[in-house]
Amino acid sequence: MPSDRPFALLVTWTCYGTWLPGDSRGYVSNTLLLERGFEPKQNTPGTPYIADDNYTRERARALQRGDTAYLSPALALVAAQALIEAAKDRGWRIVQGAIMANHVHVVVQDCPDDGPTVRRILKGTSQNALSRHVGKNKRWWTSGGSDRYKHGEPAIRAAIEYVARQRRALAQIVDMRVELVVETTLPRRGLSPP
């Protein structure tokens, strides 16, 4: 049953290899058990994140295919412009976006009430633009991501404010325009991403 309340999606995904299962910052993935098997992920609102499981993290690192992908300010700008074009082509509106060196947040309105589809389109088009920009195919994004459904003005406003306050954003999108590109130093391999 359609609602006349305003609707938006808060879509989030990470750069490839930058936030592995087992990460000390917390994660929503299966946790590997030393004696075989795994503890299933818990991805329901209010469930605390599991954090800092060295065995799970090292196994994920060993299975990683390709280099970890961090975005530079120039690459963040390419991704931001690709996200805007993908939205524009479909009649969607990105009201707020933040592209960091290791992950992306986007608040989208006038889009289908189907987070996985919206996320796949945004990731796919920006993946293609980034690979074209560097002149070779590369895996930029981790599979999956998060889709948060925001219904009503207070929920949408909170999502917009959350994304607008992202620290270390390399590029921000405000109402379908790139508003800010910030120069920053990228971390060396082995250090925690910004």
pLDDT on residue 38: 62
* Of the candidates 85, 65, 194, 100, the residue with the CA atom closest to the CA atom of residue 132: 85
Could you please report the per-residue DSSP string of 4-56?
A: SS-EEEEEEEEBTTSS-TT-TT-B-S-EE-TTSSEEPP--STTPPPB---HHH
CATH 3.30.70.1290, the chain: domain bounds: 7-15+69-181
Q: How much is the mean pLDDT over the chain? A: 83
pLDDT on residue 5: 80
Distance of alpha carbon 87 from the chain centroid: 16
- The H-or-E segment that residue 62 falls in is helix 54-63
pLDDT on residue 1: 41
pLDDT on residue 192: 36
Mean pLDDT of 60-86: 90
Find the radius of gyration of the CA atoms of the chain.
Answer: 17
SS3 readout for 122-178:
HHHHHHHHHHHHHCCCCCCECCCCEEEEEECHHHHHHHHHHHHCCCCCCEEEECCEE
Would the pTM of this model clear 0.85, i.e. be above it?
A: no
Residue 93 CA to residue 35 CA, distance in Å, equals: 48
pLDDT value at 186 more than 70: no
- What digits encode the pLDDT tens for the residues 108-119? 999 999 999 999
Mean pLDDT of 90-95: 98
Any idea which residue has 């299933």 for tokens? 40
pLDDT on residue 68: 87
pLDDT value at 193 more than 90: no
- Please give the CATH superfamily to which domain 7-15+69-181 belongs: Transposase IS200-like (3.30.70.1290)
Mean pLDDT of 92-121: 97
**Treating both helix axes as pointing N-terminal to C-terminal, what angle do 115-134 and 73-90 enclose, rounded to 10 degrees?**
130
Q: How many CB atoms lie within 10 A of CB 118?
A: 21
pLDDT value at 129 more than 90: yes
Mean pLDDT of 185-189: 43
Least confident of 19-23, 91-95, 99-103, 181-185: 181-185
